[in-house]
A and B are shown apart, each in its own frame.
Chain A
Amino acid sequence: DAGVIQSPRHEVTEMGQEVTLRCKLISGHNSLFWYRQTMMRGLELLIYFNNNVPIDDSGMPEDRFSAKMPNASFSTLKIQPSEPRDSAVYFCASREGNSYGYTFGSGTRLTVV
């Protein structure tokens, strides 16, 4: 298994532009988590899905952020319009059933200038 695959690995964009981050889950995993990591705040849960349904989006910073899971193996996180304070590493993680071990992707390092 290739693990959780995120793309792109790095993204540099100008303020105001739309950014789309992508995540492919591990086959058979039914939960998907989007995290944001910064030095100051550590790992913050943005949103998580269970069986393609958004369960908790209370961590999504504001309306500029949206996430979708169009099928059981793929998810996107979109920021529109992007702002410099959105600069961070964004991780997605998947989980099988109710297991406690999340499998993380390698992350997307986003820089908004």
Chain B
Amino acid sequence: GQQLNQSPQSMFIQEGEDVSMNCTSSSIFNTWLWYKQDPGEGPVLLIALYKAGELTSNGRLTAQFGITRKDSFLNISASIPSDVGIYFCAGLSNAGNNRKLIWGLGTSLAVNP
């Protein structure tokens, strides 16, 4: 099925560093969501974006909805060990009658204390 292109696939960083990851699509989306999945758990919603150009923060996390509506990025500032996990982007299109979330394959983040 349709998927988003999420990059990078994995990152290994030092504690305190900033992190940036992004998602791109060939299709337009009306909503972008960013989730985090801890080991052994289900994904948890971090940030939701509803308008092109929107920039939203949640603590050390900042996400933006691209102007073209075909991309989004997530930044994490001053990373800490508990940021470890898999980060997923998901897009929602209003095209047709089937409003399903389309998911990226995730960015796996490892933080070295």
Contacts and interface: CB of A to CB of B under 8 A. Distances in A.
B101 interface: yes
Q: Is the interface of B mostly helix, strand, loop or mixed?
A: loop
Determine chain A's interface SS by DSSP, over half rule.
Answer: strand
Interface residues of B, number: 20
B88 A43 contact: yes
Interface stretch (B42-50, B57-65, B66-74): B42-50
B1 A106 contact: no
A56 B98 contact: yes
Contacts of B40: 106-107
Interface string A68-100: 000000000000000000000001010000001
Contact of A104 (B44, B92, B105): B44
Interface of A: 4, 42-45, 48, 56, 59, 91, 93, 100-107
